[in-house]
Amino acid sequence: MDQRPSGELSALLTDLYQLTMAACYFDQNMQEEATFSLFIRKYPAQRNYFVAAGLSEVLEYLETLRFTDDDLAYLSSTGLFPTRLLDFLRGLRFTGAVQALPEGSIFFADEPILEVSAPIIEAQLVETFIINAISFQTMIATKASRSVRAAAGRPLVDFSLRRTQGRDAGLKVARASYLAGFLGTSNVLAGKLYGIPIFGTMAHSYITSFPHEIDAFRVFARNFPTITTLLIDTYDNISGVRHAVTVAKEMEARGQRLEFVRLDSGDMAAISQEVRRILDDQGLGYVRILASGNFDEYKIARVLADGARIDAFAVGTKMGVSADAPYFDIAYKLVRYADQPLMKLSTGKVTLVDKKQVWRCFDPQGAMARDTIALRSEAIPGGTPLLQPVMAKGRIIQPLPTND
Amino acid sequence: MDQRPSGELSALLTDLYQLTMAACYFDQNMQEEATFSLFIRKYPAQRNYFVAAGLSEVLEYLETLRFTDDDLAYLSSTGLFPTRLLDFLRGLRFTGAVQALPEGSIFFADEPILEVSAPIIEAQLVETFIINAISFQTMIATKASRSVRAAAGRPLVDFSLRRTQGRDAGLKVARASYLAGFLGTSNVLAGKLYGIPIFGTMAHSYITSFPHEIDAFRVFARNFPTITTLLIDTYDNISGVRHAVTVAKEMEARGQRLEFVRLDSGDMAAISQEVRRILDDQGLGYVRILASGNFDEYKIARVLADGARIDAFAVGTKMGVSADAPYFDIAYKLVRYADQPLMKLSTGKVTLVDKKQVWRCFDPQGAMARDTIALRSEAIPGGTPLLQPVMAKGRIIQPLPTND
């Protein structure tokens, strides 16, 4: 999978307060090293683990961070910033170090996902982007991972693009769900940019634009004989599957095989059983059943428990926006500045101080037994350190560690 | 507000099935006009109206739609598409007509937001992008509008960037919330791209990076005397506001005025009352109180009902992902093809046929009385038509209608 995300990574994609704080630090000549730690404070409902994602985009952003002349002209136009600060920003590059969990890592609440150590202006300025990238992509990878587990070995495909929260989200969902074990995506641009396998079927509008359903099926099978999936619920699933049977037999006569029929509405357990029976009665045991329509880990588990005969799931909206937990309580906290460990004491929000490492211990069977959050200077006997150096002096350490 | 969104509008940002269907239509020489209608099927919990947004991005996408050589090389590499289709796609432009609600319009479930009429390949191909853009931005504008109403005249600022679902979402949330009545955003890039006013304060890390809170306050006030907002909860709100009072008096001596103190945690009603009392006792009645921390329409209404003395709200995560309704049940349905009205009959999903218009009737006081969904060829006496022509023959009709 290509590690490069698409699109503009602007230095201005940040909160204004990052720049006002930078101005104050610059004014005070505060240039000492700060360490910020990124962690998720607590589990959303129904979550008990997380899957790390988003690091690749963060590192590309850090390595290429710069203010363009156009950016500086805009900042100047606000009248808020002195020229000497703008001159400083013109030359600013990210020169710090990053330790992080490899993408795809399983981790838990309160464990640092990523720690940035850099001159405080640099380390602070990148907060907004880092939180945005890691939080969202980790949220989607986590939701997708839960769907993969619920499907118990059946393949899943991401169909979420039309309902993701914007264009960038559509790409990131395709990538994060693939990272979490999905087979591929309907998102063609994600296929191109990330090398993810792409999948597609047909819409109800395609069926209704033909005089008869079977005509629509026949034309599709003729044009795409190696990837034919027929959507059978436009008028009625049972008449639809009978038309699909006719087309499957026509394909057989041409030496081709219908790959899937697709269900998209109704009682999935009952319909899939009936469709399976009809296909099997016609000697079409090789034709598989794909189901779509509001699937997530809960609905997948429910229809399988109800006895659904479904071989693959298209998972869309609810995974693509992490509908039951559409944001995470994630924080990027200053834990050390100028060689002093630091903490914040706001009501109910206590932060662990200083640079840290997470050590994972496994039981004799190789299963995760426990994690220990330690100071980075400590070592936990028998444990494996999870945070790895991924950037030094502002440059990505190649090759990036993987979780394979 | 500049109407141009940022970033790449790739023709490949679509579902694969749009391309497989296009291939079938092309193979069958199906080139007649299709009309698709975009509407929201039902209200999410707690919603009873919608605010339209996203049209500007849709129209830019339609006007500039084309497959690049790079796109076509990727499609060719999949092995799915014949060369004559790729040649057709190379020359494809969107040549159709669009009728739509102006951005900022109030509308209701089942009412068409937008109708596209174009040769069926074009009208189908753009489905994914149109649904994505209109659905997400309308969802955010609706959530933001609800927050504006709850705040009853108090200004709101978008602080959501770090928790939006990706980069594009951060920009769109800033724009959609501004459209819905927010005063501005913390998102600097949105300020640059859309001309939205930008706002910023300081982070807890800024406070803790100084030996004493009051030092951090003093440096900020010296550097940004016209926009000083002091965050007072890092250690304790009451000692924090006392430090803010000291700095405010120092600013007065320099002929400056502290603008805001900011609360970010704790019991907002009780703390804001105490902070208000302390400020007033010190003759600082002009210093206003900004509150942040998990605000949305529900929390705004609750703290105001509890007697909070809050003058402005920073609204972040929950608005920025529309947390209680993070997707809408929106559909883009084929309602007419080749001069025939069409409908789909899947279980529980009935679509109104043919090209439509929405007529709004007002009562004698000028309040909305009722809407009527009619065929486009009908006229409703006494009503005002809401859908307006915004694109003809693939070109944006200038100037776009506004809802001002």
> Residue A36: pLDDT above 60?
yes
Average pLDDT of chain B to the nearest whole number: 94
Contact A223 B27 (CB under 8 A): yes
> Residue B347: pLDDT above 70?
no
At A105 the pLDDT is 97
Give the count of Cβ contacts less than 8 A between chain A and B: 315
Which residues in chain B have Cβ-Cβ distances shorter than 8 Å to A343? Answer: 208
Alpha-carbon distance B231 to B338, whole Å? 62
Q: Which of residues 304-323 of B touch A (CB under 8 A)?
A: 317-318, 320-323
> Residue B346: pLDDT above 70?
no
Task: Supply A116's token pair.
Answer: 């940035």
Q: How wide is the angle at C-alpha A316 spanned by C-alphas B126 and B49, nearest 5°? A: 70
At B341 the pLDDT is 83
> Residue A2: pLDDT above 90?
no
A41-62 pLDDT tens trace: 999 989 999 999 999 999 999 9
CATH match for B16-83+90-139+329-396 among 3.40.630.20, 3.20.20.80, 3.20.140.10, 3.40.50.720: 3.20.140.10
Task: Supply A25's token pair.
Answer: 């630090």
Task: Supply B378's token pair.
Answer: 């009908």
> Residue B3: pLDDT above 70?
no
Which residues in chain B have Cβ-Cβ distances shorter than 8 Å to A9? Answer: 167
First to last CA, chain A: 13
Q: What percent of chain A has pLDDT over 90?
A: 91
Q: What percent of chain A has pLDDT over 70?
A: 95
Alpha-carbon distance A209 to A206, whole Å? 5
At A7 the pLDDT is 43
Q: Which of residues 78-107 of B touch A (CB under 8 A)?
A: 78, 80
At A160 the pLDDT is 98
B13-62 pLDDT tens trace: 999 999 999 999 999 999 999 999 999 999 998 999 999 999 999 999 99
A188-220 pLDDT tens trace: 999 999 999 999 989 999 999 999 999 999 999
> Residue A84: pLDDT above 50?
yes
At A56 the pLDDT is 96
At A342 the pLDDT is 75
At B171 the pLDDT is 97
Taking residues B215-232, what's their average pLDDT?
A: 98
Strands A184-185 and A330-337 come out as: unpaired
At A69 the pLDDT is 96
Which residues in chain B have Cβ-Cβ distances shorter than 8 Å to A337? Answer: 208-209
At A45 the pLDDT is 87
Contact B345 A131 (CB under 8 A): no
CATH class of segment(s) A16-139+327-396: alpha beta
At A315 the pLDDT is 98
B144-159 pLDDT tens trace: 999 999 999 999 999 9
Superfamily of domain B147-320: Aldolase class I (3.20.20.70)
Taking residues B338-364, what's their average pLDDT?
A: 78
Topology of A152-320 in CATH?
A: TIM Barrel (3.20.20)
pTM: 0.95
Domain boundaries, chain A: 16-139+327-396, 152-320
> Residue A404: pLDDT above 80?
no
- How many residues in chain A? 404
Q: How confident is the model at residue B2 (pLDDT cuts 50, 70, 90)?
A: very low
- What is the enclosing helix (H) or strand (E) of B121? helix B120-125
Contact B203 A346 (CB under 8 A): no
- What is the enclosing helix (H) or strand (E) of A374? strand A368-375
> Residue B344: pLDDT above 70?
no
A68-77 pLDDT tens trace: 999 999 999 9
> Residue B350: pLDDT above 80?
no
> Residue B233: pLDDT above 60?
yes
Query: How does DSSP assign B35-97, residue by residue?
Result: EEEEEE-SPPTT-S-EE---HHHHHHHHHH----HHHHHHHHHTT-S-HHHHHHHHH-----E
At A344 the pLDDT is 54
Of A165, A265, A337, the CB nearest to B164: A165
Alpha-carbon distance B200 to B186, whole Å? 6
B41 to chain A, any CB pair closer than 8 A? The answer is: no
At B6 the pLDDT is 37
- What is the enclosing helix (H) or strand (E) of A330? strand A330-337
At B345 the pLDDT is 52
A31 to chain B, any CB pair closer than 8 A? The answer is: no
User: Do the first three CATH levels of A16-139+327-396 and A152-320 match, i.e. the same topology?
Assistant: no
